């Protein structure tokens, strides 16, 4: 088994996506890989205490060990709560149906 692993780190904004590829020592954790990548310098808004992290779309902890060919994803906070948006849409839909008027 090699003592190096290849990983990717992805961070997406509405207008830009950053994808970094790295070769790191085996046994490195998610947070160690992020810090070594330099992505925190490029995107200072990333707060590892607040931003959720994932590997291939599944949430993970910052101290999780990485495997070869893992892709770390740094998620941005939601702008709106999806449940609240659905509730508002449902209320608007009910109001539109009630005031339909007669033909």
Domain 4-98, what fold?
A: Ubiquitin-like (UB roll) (3.10.20)
Q: How crowded is the C-beta side of 40, counted as CA atoms within 13 Å?
A: 11
- Number of Cβ within 10 Å of residue 44's Cβ equals 7
Task: Provide CB contacts within 8 A for 64, sequence distance 6+.
Answer: 29, 30, 55
- At residue 42, the 3 state secondary structure works out as helix
Distance separating the N- and C-terminal Cα atoms of the chain: 76
What's the pLDDT score for residue 56? 95
What's the pLDDT score for residue 98? 58
- At residue 32, the 3 state secondary structure works out as helix
Has this prediction a pTM greater than 0.85? no
What's the pLDDT score for residue 92? 81
Region 11-32 average pLDDT:
94
For 48-102, the pLDDT digits (tens) are 999 999 999 999 999 999 999 999 999 987 777 778 888 888 888 766 665 555 5
What's the pLDDT score for residue 82? 76
Region 19-31 average pLDDT:
96
What's the pLDDT score for residue 100? 54
């Amino acid at each position: 088994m090699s003592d190096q692993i290849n990983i990717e780190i992805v961070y997406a904004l509405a207008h830009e996506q950053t994808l970094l590829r790295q070769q790191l020592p085996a046994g490195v954790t998610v947070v160690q890989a992020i810090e070594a990548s330099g992505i925190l310098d490029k995107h200072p808004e990333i707060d590892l205490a607040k931003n959720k992290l994932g590997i291939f779309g599944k949430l993970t902890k910052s101290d999780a060990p990485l495997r070869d060919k893992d892709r770390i994803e740094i998620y941005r906070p939601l702008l709106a709560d999806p449940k609240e948006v659905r509730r508002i849409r449902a209320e608007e839909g009910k109001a539109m149906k009630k005031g339909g008027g007669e033909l």
